[in-house]
Structure 1
Amino acid sequence: MDAHGGLQSPATLYAAFTGNCAMRMAQAVLGVTALSLLATLTAYAESMPDAQTVDRGRALYHGLTAWEGPVHVGDTRIPSSAGVCAHCHGARGQGGSETGIKVPEVSWHQLMQSNAHRPAYRSGQHILQTIGGTEGRDDKKLAPPMPTFALTESEGNALLAYLQVVGTEADQAQGIFPDHVTFGVVLPLQGAWRTHGERIHAGLRDRFAAINRAGGIYGRRLDLVVEDAGTRPHDVVQAVDRLVQQHRVFALVGSFLPELPAASLQTIKRYHTPLVATLGIPLRETNDRNLTYLLPSIERQVQQLVRELRGRCDVDNGLHVLHAPVPGLAEAIQVATVNAASRAEVTVQVVLNPADALDALRHTTSRTVIALAPKETVGVIRTQIQKKTSPTCLATLAMFSGLPPSALNDRSDTTVTTSEIVGLPMSSVAVPSELTIEGEGLWTFLADLSARTLAEALSRTGRLVDYEGFDRALNSLQKFEPVNGLPIEFTPQQRHGLAVAHMWKGVLHEQAH
């Protein structure tokens, strides 16, 4: 806040710092130019702020609410979006150093405490005068790149209120309360995917209940708010908005969101809301820091499936991919197979139902089929292939169609010559004996993993919870095993926790290498 030094032109400084913390502007604190505000603000600064005022100050400090008045660096007006205090002074007001400029702490304790280099601020009024552009605590104006602000009375009140709690236990992220933490989940509770939603809800609910019976996380109960994903893309947008803005959840966990709508992505970025161990499978990998999936993308899974096929099946004599009518799925399959399939001729075809699948098989000349379709359709494809001499090889993903019957018991039809490979998110030996990953049971198990992953990251964050700390904790999950033998790993580069590293071949689960 007290950055001084040689003063270049404001426009030059603004250009030099644009795009980084220092130029996004130390906007740490607040400014006001109207002298008529000073008397009321002086009295206010010495009182304990109410929760609503603190919340507004928090929103201003973190850039969730725009400034009403102009923001300047010297004589140059800059966009209000560049005046986000947290970008330079830190999410907890801890300060730091950016591009060689020391950015001071802005907690109330630090502002009101003198040191060897400068005196303390005398009052909240003094802070507002300084940020408004008058002389500061060492009788000097704040130099660029620190902006000046022309705040309304209510903005000044709110920012002073927030400075009194920033960095303390009273300054928790949205959804964090003394005795509980509120989470949200978006699930399909109607339509074709309703049973998936019900199973996921059951897995999350039961794991949350078990954690709460054991005392919660740092004594806080975990609460879950469920919103219906509906049947239209805009229904998902509204569900996410309600969770983030109305229910004010800390994070979403285990949501069945194969693809997040652009409007929802903007919402979670604006509010810094983490989407943790999201279920449903994205078409392609993501590198968005707010968004993590439990499973890798369709593109990544199909690539691995094709690699397994090459060592077991006659892929070079044609690969026929039959898939459900999911938007964008055909393109993801084409990208995944263009390199992995090498010289093979690849046909990608949508099938709407089992009858479509049978018709496609009657006309194919390929020796190998990949089926990414619901269980009923894949069952028909499997039966038809077993009756014919060509195709002779079938590959599926458990996330679409579950496991074939012979993988669920010790018996298999030894007269069948068809080879089948199924991509799995885990080996069956990792599944507790009381659970099953057959059919919809897989989603209950994955939801339980999502809840365990969330709880571990929250525990590693500590009692004081902010989004930066939670993100660091999530990325610290290296080879974390929520269930023995089932490692989960997140990094800033890898935003999915599980690897589809197990391929079922015949009647055995074999780990892929």
Structure 2
Amino acid sequence: MALLGAGLLAALAQAQTPPQGVTPNEVLLGTIADLSGPVAPYGRDVRNGLQMAIAEINARGGIHGRQLRLLVEDHGYDPKRSVLAAQKLVNQDKVFAIVGSFGTPHSLAAMQVMFPKGVFSLFPMALARETYEPLNPLKFAMLPASFDQIAPVVPGLYRERKATRACVLYQDDDFGHEVLSGTEAGLKTVGATLVERASYKRGATDFSSQVARLKAANCDFVVLGTIIRETVGVIAEARKLGFSPTFLISSTGYSELIPRLGGKDMDGLYAVHTAAFPYLDDASAPVADWARRYQAQFQSAPTIFSVYGYTKINLIARALERAGPQLTTEGFTRAMEGVDVPGDIFGNPPMRFSAAQHLGSSRSRLSQLQNGRWKVVLDYDQFR
């Protein structure tokens, strides 16, 4: 009995021991972003949103007496560098969680470093189901995977555009294959199949052969598994060839950089997304006030990726509040599974996490580029 009692006390003490990255005065977080590679504008804006929310929380006294601190690592959009960055944050800096890690293959690779050390993966900027499935007490996601974004919108848009020949052009990695799978699943519900598919390697800049293939196949509906630069390159090449199918992209293409880099040629592109781009000339009063604070801190206008970063930290703050002052890994998981957030000022859908669901929301909406600006054409739950 004495031995059993000693064992129970030891187990209880271990369960109450703060995890790495947690002290009486601080919770240490990390993020891995592209700050020098092809999607560096995305990475910088996510980082800025994270930092802005952290600064505001700390100015209010932190959470249960703890300040939040963020360490930032750059992977230059290279999955190998993402692994090295994760190793540094996890093993050397000993962070509590990595939040908003950028890129699908990058985030999935980093998780292999994080989970054996009990480090959370919180709301990565990665559109893969592996960021929230299968259930794992250490991983939570805010954005639905490309599969879950693309599959529901394809049937209705395909019919609405009276399309007959669907095709896909995608990046040959985890991210691109999610888009491919989602497209195939969506088409299946309306009895259609892909007539052509074309892929490219990460980092490619010439898409002439892929676009020529799609044009030769008479594609009138093309789903893109592309990032910013690649999206602009593909559509510009199509316009040059007089090829004008309906183009659809996941939330990777919902950015002001598309019309800024590609100009008028980008009009007509459809993109799936959640939060709305914060156009400051017609923003609501709360968003305009938030944007003024952002500009004062970073001397630049916020983008949708700034919104994502800001939202992620505030979700984490809710869970830290719920977990209480005795913060443990198990306690944070339980607290995160109880977070229930109504829609916010940015247009995000209500998000609810549970023990059976570590994705905040699977709902999306659809916008189209019209005269260089994104306009919502199908709101939440309007997909048919």
- Say whether 1:318 aligns with 2:165: yes
Q: Which amino acid aligns with 2:86?
A: V
2:224 paired residue number = 371
Q: Residue 421 of structure 1 corresponds to which residue in structure 2?
A: 270
Q: Which has the higher contact order (CA 8 A, sep 6+)?
A: 2
Alignment CA distance shift 1:424-1:308 (3 Å): farther
TM-score (structure 1 length as normaliser): 0.59
Q: What letter matches 1:302 in structure 2? A: I
* Higher helix proportion: 2
Which of the numbers 494, 497, 502 marks the counterpart of 2:360? Answer: 497
Residue 163 of structure 2 is aligned to residue 300 of structure 1: no
Paired residue type of 2:313: A
Using the alignment, how far apart are the partners of 2:105 and 2:356 within structure 1? 19
Query: How far is the alpha carbon of 1:380 from its aligned partner?
Result: 5.5
- Cα deviation, 1:4-37, whole Å, max 9, x if unaligned, reads xxxxxxxxxxxxxxxxxxxxxx8x856xxxxxxx
CA distance in 1, matches of 2:51, 2:257: 28
**1:269-348 pair list within 5 angstroms:** 269-282=115-128, 286-289=133-136, 290-315=138-163, 317-324=164-171, 326-342=172-188, 343-346=191-194, 347-348=196-197
- Matches of residues 55-454 of structure 1 in structure 2 within 5 Å? 106-107=8-9, 171-229=17-75, 232-259=78-105, 264-282=110-128, 286-289=133-136, 290-315=138-163, 317-324=164-171, 326-342=172-188, 343-346=191-194, 347-351=196-200, 352=204, 353-356=206-209, 358-379=211-232, 381-382=234-235, 391-400=244-253, 402=255, 420-428=269-277, 432-433=287-288, 435=291, 441-454=303-316
Alignment partners' CA distance in 2, 1:287 and 1:432? 35
What SS class does the counterpart of residue 18 from structure 2 fall into?
A: coil
How big is the shift at 1:319? 0.5
Query: 1:459 aligns to what?
Result: 321
Q: Is the 8 A contact 2:319 2:335 kept in 1?
A: yes
Aligned-partner residue type, residue 191 of structure 1: G
Query: C-alpha offsets along residues 121-169 of structure 1, whole Å, 9 cap, x if unaligned?
Result: xxxxxxxxxxxxxxxxxxxxxxxxxxxxxxxxxxxxxx6xx97x5566x
**CA displacement, residues 297-336 of structure 1 (integer Å, 9 cap, x when unaligned):** 1221221231332341224x11111223x42345434432
Matched residue, 1:23: none
- The 5-angstrom pairing of residues 45-60 of structure 1 reads none
How many percent identity over aligned positions? 19
Change (3 A) 1:439 1:255: farther
The one-letter code matched in structure 1 to 2:358 is: R
How far off its partner does 1:363 sit?
A: 1.7
- What is the Cα deviation at residue 420 of structure 1? 4.4
Structure 1 residues 334, 395: CA separation in 2 closer, same or farther (over 3 Å shift)?
Answer: closer
Q: What is the aligned-residue RMSD (CA, Å)?
A: 3.7
1:179-205 residue CA offsets vs partner (Å, 9 max, x unmatched): 111111122233223333222221111
The answer (yes or no) to whether the contact 1:291–1:495 under 8 Å persists in 2 is yes
- Gapped runs of 5+ residues in structure 1? 4-25, 31-105, 108-158
Amino acid at match of 2:216: H
- Structure 2 residues not aligned, in runs of 5+: 278-282, 295-299
